[in-house]
Structure 1
Amino acid sequence: MVRVLPTERLLGSGNESSALSDSRHEQPPVIKRTEIVAIALVVLTAICVTGVLYVARGFFLPIVMAFVVGTMLSPAANFLERYRVPRSVGAVLIVIAVAAGLAFIIGLISAPVLDWTNRLPELATQLKAKLHVFDRPIALWHEMQTAIGGGSAQTSSLELPKFDWVQPTIEFLSPTFTEFLLFFATLVLFIASWRDLRRTLIMTFGDHDARLRTLRILNELELHLGNYLLTVTLINAGVGIAAGIACAVAGMPNPAGLGALAATLNFVPIIGPIATFAVLVVVGVITFPTLSGGMVAPLLFAVITFMEGHFVTPTIIGRRLAVNALAVFIALAFWTWLWGPMGAFLASPLLIVGLILKEHLLPDTSPQLPSD
């Protein structure tokens, strides 16, 4: 015997099934196990690569430095090649010119640095004697620490740090002769064979679209890194000249060396200008009899770097190479920790390389969020 169900029950079951199916669609997406495994593998790979780069920094730092600087200098080799200069000869001439420029800057900086290094104990005594103005605030600070039970009030004057760490730190951060030799040899060979390397890398891919994408990436890397080196060098040279003039006007000793130091340290974003300002403060306080007189040159340099960072650099470099300040700071901290001062120099170029690769290899195809 066949029973006929009421129409209401049939409709009700249909509504319930559609509601269940709708509720399933409204549930948030669940992360699959394969996705978790893929994320874990990426994290482990990044940790392993970072460890290898840190342990083998003596090999990878000169090689990466040569590749980045060679890509920056490739437009100069192309320019010489257009005037019938063989590329190998042009590579040697470019490297000799770069080495001569570095030797000139080091010569300007090294003489006063060596003189001041030999006089560190005497200069530390002079600096301590001129900073007695801070004795009363320091005494109040120690009294407050004693009142809350956090220290003793025996020390009431400014204690300068010992300078025993300076020489070991310089020896640790300075590259060895072998690293310099590896860098310059790799740089010459890279510039001389850059066209063949480009062709080989492009022809590695069999797909036409992949070859075209690789060609675009290489062209953009060469263009933007070359523009970055040229513009930053010109800007930093201007900052160094302006800093030297400011030091000369303020009566600072060896203004040419201080200007060269300002131009060199300005290649390191954020940290470089701060370090130059600190050096000018120390030199000014030691040189001049009054604290106000010693702060003239540092304050002029602060004005120069403010104008350069907020008006000159954004205008010349433009929005195309402008990157987020937080990204620059994190990249600077990471590469400085990994490779020291040379890593700090490479932080911005490597960040530009990463952004170009991300733009071409991982294009943004997701829908844009609505405007506020």
Structure 2
Amino acid sequence: MGSTETPPPRHRPPHVPRMGAAARGTALDALVPSLRFMTGLVIAALLIAGLYAGSSILVPLALAFLLSFVLEPLVARLKRIGLPRLPAVIAVVLATLMALGVAGLFVAKEARELSAQLPSYQTTIRKKLRALRQELRAPGMFDGAKRTLDIVQREVEAAGPVLPGGGGTQRAVQQVQVQPPQLTPAQQAMAALGALSGPLTQAGLVLVFVVFILLDRVDLRDRLLRLWGADLHRATDAMDEAGGRISRYLTMQLLVNVTYGIPMGLGLWLIGVPGALLWGALAAVMRFVPYVGPLIAAAFPVTLAFAVDPGWTLVLWTIGLIVVLELISNNVIEPWLYGSSTGLSALSLIVAATFWTALWGPVGLIMSTPLTVCLLVVGRYLPQLAFLDVLLGSRAVLDEPTRIYQRLLADDAEEAIELSVAQIEALQGSVPAFYAQIGLPVLRMAVGDHARVATPEHRLRLVEGMDELLDDLQEQYPEPIVPSAAPRVACLGGKWEMDHLAARMAAHALSLRGCPAQTWAAGPATAEPPQGLEAVRVACVVWLSPQPAAAARHACRRLRRQWPHLRIVLALLGEPLEDLPAEGDGALLGADAVATSLEEALAQVAQLQGGPAGEAFEVAPVPAGDAERVQALLASGALDSDTLRRLCQHAAQRAADIFDVPFAMVSLVDQDRQTALCSHGRLPAAEEGEPEAPACDTLPRELSLCGHVVASGQPLVVPDIARDARFAGNPALRERRLRFYAGVPLRDAAGHVLGALCLLDTQAHVFDARETRLLKAMAGDLMAGWADAPVPAPAAAGSATVGQIVPQ
């Protein structure tokens, strides 16, 4: 029997744990951002290479789209008078070609006359150049150094090696000049035709593209919308904004160039420069080329002035004229006409000009601004390309709270203080407004980042920086001296350091409002409860936690047990609007009042302190010259016109439907009252089971929000009246249970504000700036129709009081 051997055991490597599926998934997820970034770079490189390689087709196409933005308004105007689109396009294109041809003939005529005069200026040019040469050869401050360098150079050359070939001297090299062959007239004509073939081909392509773009504009728009995707709202807004910005920019650029070229031509004609009209036209055309064009246009008249005048007077006058026109155009005309028409930053304009010039040459320089505007709009409306809006746009990418927050994180409290003081000055010195609009948002950002991304070092920097900032603001804006030394209001931070900082803001704001307050170091939810509250009547407890209800209820009970006489205001400043307790639910949390904003907290504290009820809301002021406005309202005959009432009724109905609110109204404000000329809808009950709110047809002027619109002449938006300290105590608004108001002024042709187009609701709303602009545009359309409508003469002109009109 054969023996069997047991195989030797294999050597096992050290234990290496296998990567599980979850770990592999995490590693792949970590690689996704890098892969996306690399893919984006590759796609960008391919796009740039495609733009460069296809420039022969893309440049004429881009120029054609650019020209179509200029010519489309003319085509649309011809269509409005009844001309079909094809004849309208042909007529506009032919008129444009004729205008260009006439301009070309004029320029050619001026150039021919000027070229005929140039030989007569040769003597002057020679004399000036000879005089300049003598001036340059005259002894100067560097002549000694130059002679020394010449001597050194000769000595070095003399000490150099001797060329072979006998003797020590170097023979002069004979120069040979190659003369080009003489071309026959036919060859010269063919060479000129070959040089012009490229530009002529490009011009022909541009003309063909322009015609077809103007003819198929609607179809091209539909195709671009389909390429954008299914979101027609976003795509429509993007195309409208891009078209509006480019058209506005080109129109304003044309106006700027014309307002520069005409004074240039007239000025050169007055000072005696030949070909003045030619140089004015050249200056207007060359300013379409950014940065380089004005320099090129200025070189020609300056050179001609040098050649014409034996002295230097004409040259100096020409340079002075150009400098003055440039200063006026760059600092007055362009900011006035351009405004924010492009939305591009100055640096992005320079970078874009460099990029498109390197890509497409001089034509790319001309089109750099419109093309970059298109990229800006695409980045604004396409989330995947949002970085373009950040890189190219002129609007600030960081709001003021974020800027101050970043400076504090960077341990730069000094710059944070400078930014804060600048914002207080912008708010007309209102420190409470600064705390409400900027200071508290900084603390909210700190609360949100505390457990997510903040490091201990960042938290320490933020707390120390905010302390330094608040100390500096309290020193620069000291509290008024009050007779009583003991504070009557205690501001307490709910639990942690951010709450304490917010309490410091509230105490400073209360003291500046004439209500002495002091901050206690210990909060009601801390281990050591606050002490020494015997002389305090009202306590304002500030919370910035995301969900403070349970902790706030416990803190209020703790304060009640130890200090039963306290009136407690809970300032819940870190909650979203929809997650806060409803109005009047302060008792559920054990407090006398609940505030959701700093302004509301200040008003609640003042009310619990025993302030008069009239101070709880702002009365609508009466502006200067109001009697003239009231007289204009009476003279308009609006109160007696059924035509205007029907027109306003239609506008109110449209506003209520578009903005999806239950009630819209067109109101007129006379000397004493706000009167509803017409209204649409009704105010629903604030809560289920309650009766409907009373009508808003008439109100005393001092209690009406439309009175504030008339007084300021500006739109007024109140997202939540119950949470707004300016209007929360208004008895007329409380009676009608109004929570939301948005109103814009109705201004007549003379500029008098007769009333307001307003939206109302018994529920709070969020109303952004874009919706405000839309409501303002609707009010402008209403007043435009109002001006065209027949209005009867007023029945009596002596009364200054408008009768009450209640729409049926």
TM-score (structure 1 length as normaliser):
0.74
Tell me the equivalent position of 1:275. Answer: 296
Tell me the equivalent position of 1:76. Answer: 74
Within 5 Å, give how 1:90-101 maps onto structure 2: 90-101=88-99
SS in 2 for 1:370: helix
| Distance of aligned partners of 1:196 and 1:145 in 2 relative to their CA distance in 1, 3 Å threshold | farther
Tell me the equivalent position of 2:87. Answer: 89
Within 5 Å, give how 1:117-196 maps onto structure 2: 127=125, 129-132=127-130, 134-135=132-133, 136-137=135-136, 175-196=198-219
Query: 1:197 is matched with which residue: 215, 220, 245?
Result: 220
Tell me the equivalent position of 2:43. Answer: 45
- 2:149 and 2:46 mapped to 1: Cα distance? 46
1:332 has 2:373 as partner: no
Deviation, structure 1 residue 65: 0.8
Post-superposition CA distance 1:53-95 (Å, at most 9, x none)? 3343222110111112213332222222222222222222222
Query: 2:316 is matched with which residue: 271, 276, 295?
Result: 295
| Distance of aligned partners of 1:253 and 1:327 in 2 relative to their CA distance in 1, 3 Å threshold | same
| Distance of aligned partners of 1:205 and 1:335 in 2 relative to their CA distance in 1, 3 Å threshold | closer
Post-superposition CA distance 1:154-204 (Å, at most 9, x none)? xxxxxxxxxxxxxx9xx9799522111110011011011111211233245
One-letter amino acid of the structure 2 residue matched with residue 61 of structure 1: V
1:222 has 2:220 as partner: no
Post-superposition CA distance 1:301-358 (Å, at most 9, x none)? 2211210111111111212435322222222222233323322221111122222222
Tell me the equivalent position of 1:370. Answer: 403
Task: Tell me the C-alpha RMSD between the 2 structures.
Answer: 3.5
- 1:234 and 1:260 mapped to 2: Cα distance? 13
One-letter amino acid of the structure 2 residue matched with residue 312 of structure 1: I
| Distance of aligned partners of 1:182 and 1:134 in 2 relative to their CA distance in 1, 3 Å threshold | same
Tell me the equivalent position of 1:257. Answer: 278
Query: 1:242 is matched with which residue: 242, 263, 275?
Result: 263
- 1:117 and 1:237 mapped to 2: Cα distance? 25
Question: Does structure 2 retain, via aligned residues, the 8 Å contact 1:236–1:263?
Answer: yes
Tell me the equivalent position of 1:17. Answer: none
Tell me the equivalent position of 2:471. Answer: none
One-letter amino acid of the structure 2 residue matched with residue 370 of structure 1: R
- 1:174 and 1:131 mapped to 2: Cα distance? 39
SS in 2 for 1:176: helix
Higher mean C-alpha displacement, 57-66 vs 286-295: 286-295
Query: 1:347 is matched with which residue: 363, 368, 372?
Result: 368
One-letter amino acid of the structure 2 residue matched with residue 62 of structure 1: P
| Distance of aligned partners of 1:37 and 1:289 in 2 relative to their CA distance in 1, 3 Å threshold | farther
1:232 has 2:253 as partner: yes
Deviation, structure 1 residue 127: 4.3
- 2:121 and 2:153 mapped to 1: Cα distance? 28
Tell me the equivalent position of 1:309. Answer: 330
| Distance of aligned partners of 1:71 and 1:58 in 2 relative to their CA distance in 1, 3 Å threshold | same
| Distance of aligned partners of 1:327 and 1:111 in 2 relative to their CA distance in 1, 3 Å threshold | farther
Deviation, structure 1 residue 34: 4.2
| Distance of aligned partners of 1:296 and 1:202 in 2 relative to their CA distance in 1, 3 Å threshold | same
Q: Give the structure with the larger helix fraction.
A: 1
Tell me the equivalent position of 2:60. Answer: 62
Question: Does structure 1 retain, via aligned residues, the 8 Å contact 2:114–2:275?
Answer: no
Which residues of structure 2 form unaligned runs of 5+? 1-28, 155-190, 391-396, 405-418, 420-808
| Distance of aligned partners of 1:215 and 1:291 in 2 relative to their CA distance in 1, 3 Å threshold | same
| Distance of aligned partners of 1:124 and 1:91 in 2 relative to their CA distance in 1, 3 Å threshold | farther
Deviation, structure 1 residue 360: 1.6
- 2:340 and 2:347 mapped to 1: Cα distance? 16
One-letter amino acid of the structure 2 residue matched with residue 249 of structure 1: L
Aligned length: 323
Higher mean C-alpha displacement, 124-133 vs 38-47: 124-133
Structure ranking higher on relative contact order (CA contacts 8 Å, 6+ apart): 1
Post-superposition CA distance 1:13-60 (Å, at most 9, x none)? xxxxxxxxxxxxxxxxxx955444433443343333333333432221
- 1:273 and 1:104 mapped to 2: Cα distance? 23
Higher mean C-alpha displacement, 326-335 vs 121-130: 121-130
| Distance of aligned partners of 1:52 and 1:367 in 2 relative to their CA distance in 1, 3 Å threshold | closer
- 2:195 and 2:52 mapped to 1: Cα distance? 14
SS in 2 for 1:294: helix
Q: Give the structure with the larger strand fraction.
A: 2
One-letter amino acid of the structure 1 residue matched with residue 300 of structure 2: V
Deviation, structure 1 residue 118: 9.1
- 1:306 and 1:274 mapped to 2: Cα distance? 14
SS in 2 for 1:295: helix
Post-superposition CA distance 1:232-264 (Å, at most 9, x none)? 112211211111001101101111111110110
Higher mean C-alpha displacement, 172-181 vs 58-67: 172-181
Which residues of structure 1 form unaligned runs of 5+? 1-30, 154-167
Post-superposition CA distance 1:273-297 (Å, at most 9, x none)? 1111222211111121112322312
- 1:102 and 1:152 mapped to 2: Cα distance? 59
Question: Does structure 2 retain, via aligned residues, the 8 Å contact 1:314–1:322?
Answer: no
SS in 1 for 2:83: coil
- 1:114 and 1:47 mapped to 2: Cα distance? 48
Deviation, structure 1 residue 215: 0.9
Deviation, structure 1 residue 145: 6.6
One-letter amino acid of the structure 1 residue matched with residue 106 of structure 2: L
- 2:214 and 2:299 mapped to 1: Cα distance? 38
- 1:344 and 1:80 mapped to 2: Cα distance? 32
Higher mean C-alpha displacement, 101-110 vs 263-272: 101-110
Post-superposition CA distance 1:192-222 (Å, at most 9, x none)? 1111211233245663xx2111111111122
| Distance of aligned partners of 1:63 and 1:267 in 2 relative to their CA distance in 1, 3 Å threshold | same
Kindly name which structure, 1 or 2, has the bigger radius of gyration based on alpha carbons. Answer: 2
Question: Does structure 2 retain, via aligned residues, the 8 Å contact 1:247–1:297?
Answer: yes
Tell me the equivalent position of 2:443. Answer: none
Deviation, structure 1 residue 121: 9.7
Question: Does structure 1 retain, via aligned residues, the 8 Å contact 2:305–2:315?
Answer: yes
Tell me the equivalent position of 1:14. Answer: none
Question: Does structure 2 retain, via aligned residues, the 8 Å contact 1:74–1:226?
Answer: no
- 2:302 and 2:111 mapped to 1: Cα distance? 15
Tell me the equivalent position of 2:100. Answer: 102
Question: Does structure 2 retain, via aligned residues, the 8 Å contact 1:63–1:183?
Answer: yes
Question: Does structure 2 retain, via aligned residues, the 8 Å contact 1:108–1:260?
Answer: no
| Distance of aligned partners of 1:344 and 1:256 in 2 relative to their CA distance in 1, 3 Å threshold | same
Question: Does structure 1 retain, via aligned residues, the 8 Å contact 2:63–2:206?
Answer: yes
SS in 2 for 1:183: helix
Post-superposition CA distance 1:104-140 (Å, at most 9, x none)? 3333333454677799999788646424555445886
